[in-house]
Structure 1
Amino acid sequence: MALHRPRPDTRAGRTPIRARTLAPFILAAAWALSAGAAAQGSPTPAENQAWMTLATAWEKALAANPGLRAAESGAAATEGAVLQSKALPNPEISYNQEDTRSETRTSTLQINQRIELGGKREARVRMAESEQAGAQATAFEARANLRYQLVTGFNELLAAQQRAEYARQIHELAARAHDAAQKRVTAGKIPPLEATRAQVAQANALLELDQARSAILVAQQRLAALWGGSPEEVGQVAGDFVRTAAPPTAEHIDAVLEQAPAMLSARHALAQSRAASDLERARRVQDPTLSLGVKRGQDLGRNQLVFGISIPLPLFDNNAGNQLQALRKAEQAEWSLQEQRLQLRAQLLSARQQLISSNQQASQLQTLVIPAAQSAYDTAARGFALGKFSFLDVLDAQRTLFESQRQLLDQLMASHKASAEIDRILGTALSALSIS
């Protein structure tokens, strides 16, 4: 984007007012047009100053984020459930004695073993394995959510740094403009009211600078909270803020939606509910208990083999209630899966539209609005130097120019946030700032 600067007047006898008054405004215009470029390229770290990158922040969050560690621990805990589901019922050993007199006493020692029938063990294993898969999907979803928080927080800090630099430039320019106005008042070229307006503009610029610095601290605290760090640990961040991701097509969204973390969790929840229903249905079949032992009768003076079998009679409890409950929960999980699919698709299409809109508005600001505001500012600055416009006119033109730049930063942030939202839902890296 071309930057048009008024040529300095070098005619003899002309007081070099422009060198003192226009230079601040021209510098402001240069900043307004180059703020995007400053955000586009990674900042060049000053010597002995540490800059945190997105990859570094992601490593810290992966290593120490409590929510992610909890989800991963929950997934690891399900290994024990799978192991336990494969275990067979323990045998029982029993001892019976009839009579207490030694000459007529009868002693029986036997082992009892319950035999599982009806596919209970297989259903129990499937249920545990589906629970494990669901816990792993939950950990994957937690990872995607953490990535969204990190990318969004990192971009918010990048934007805050750009706004702070912008506010610093404004304050510096306002101070120079106030100094120039004071000199022109002393020389009798403008009324004192112009100097007062310049002083008010400088005070407002200082207030905005303080607010921008506070916003940096807040963004640093939010980012550091993802791994329990401190704002000082974050410091300044370096990244590409002006480049945004291209929106995915609706066809691409439909193609990868089924692999979204939330969809995986919902499908595993359905599989777990169906496995629980199968298990309850298998429990209708009663398990027999086999007995094998030795009986010693003192009156006979010999050992006898004892064999037996027992089967519960399902007269009062045939597990009908548990079966009905499990069946209804499986139906609930199926409907929840369909609802999840509809909600995720709606969220994706909404985020996609936001990304498209923000990208278009950012492009319009860069190609149409800011150049027009620049032209208006150049005209006001030249007119002020020639005495045709008041200082208020220059301030209005400058305010319009800088407001356009603020809008550009806001639209870029909206694009990054929408892209990160798509990445969070799909669990894929659709943004240049996302981490695969």
Structure 2
Amino acid sequence: MSDSDDNANNLPDGQMENGHVPMEAQPSPSNERYSGQASDQFDIDLPTSHRYLGKLDNVTGYAFYDDGEVTTLAAIQTNTLVFPGFTLPLVLNNDLEINMLQRHTLKKNAFVLLTPNKTFKGVFPYGVIMEIFETHLRNDVLYLKARSRQRCRLVPGKEIKTLIGELYQVTVEVLLEPTITSPINCTQLSSLKARRSFQSSEYREFYKYRKYRQYHLSQFPLPGWVYDKHEICFLMDQLIQGLSNYYLIEFIPDDPVQLSYWFVQNFQLRHEERLRIMVTRTAIERLRLELKFLNMKRLICCANCDAEIAQQNNVFPMSKDGVQSNYCNPGGYVYETVTVSKATNFNLIGSPSAQFSWFPGYSWTIMQCRMCSAHLGWKFSSVNLKPDTFYGLAKSGFDVKIIYEENEAL
């Protein structure tokens, strides 16, 4: 199967394997807008705006709940994970689903996003509360964008009520971030703690206070380095150093809570690893767990046949949100997509198309696994922008394989 094969998907006319369909009302990107020289750098702010959805209307209001608050909300289940601070685009084509969602979000401008459990045979008991901030009903299709605000968990014993299709009603308990404190913050030397600082948000400053920490640590039975490894500044320094091998440091957040969520959206983790981070309550615990995951060598492989597709160091950001973002096709299917600079073991299917492109100025071509013909994602190409070529891998089409060294396997 070569790159020039004609629509070998055997799908209905006008429909393509990745779910994209031609839309008469959706204009193609203007050639004038992207007719600059080949040295033009792609604007990574564009994908986060999801301009392929068309013009949407702003929604007023703010959805925020108190820690431990129990509330009943509409819920949508997808195969994607969205952590606080990140955006989810949605396209709803079913009239009954649209009416039901609009009715349930009329007073509460929010819904719960549910995700599958680790076996993909049920609903995971933790999710996130999504706040709708833009929406528009056009040609009987509802386009919306929602931002993840808070983690939550399903209240045990409460029924998950099916409203229609993939739309549910659930009762959840809201989970907020506990205050970050030092592991030796409970020291009884209050007067000493007030006069001689023993903690810092910056790792470099942290070492300036080491001699003062010795006074506080003298009360505890374990060596000082044990407590140092539980300080938030130590964990952040270690994690950022490790991530800088794969990502530009300017894209990595310096807030511990944001960093703990950014890691999940950008580093390539297995589904069960991401779920494990989802249930972890504090930023310190999440960063410790993520530091462990960071030190494992990983490969991106075809989910169907395990053929190697890319390596961890091939990932790079084409969006200011990072290397991994959620995008929606006209059929309403949400793809969690990872952008990589290099890929292997794939064939291209069909001709390039700019229709409904998630990256304005780029045309996409379907990628299939060379070994088993499973759908992997899309090749994006442009004659006017840099990079001129990259690949968007659909998370539903690949697995993350952990490579253990011989001594680790033993």
Q: For the superposition of Structure 1 and Structure 2, which TM-score range results when normalised by the shorter chain?
A: under 0.3
Give the number of the structure whose residues are more often strand, by fraction.
Answer: 2
How does the TM-score come out when normalised to structure 2?
Answer: 0.22
Structure with higher Rg: it is: 1
How does the TM-score come out when normalised to structure 1?
Answer: 0.21
Asked which structure has the greater RCO (Cα within 8 Å, sep 6+), the reply is 1
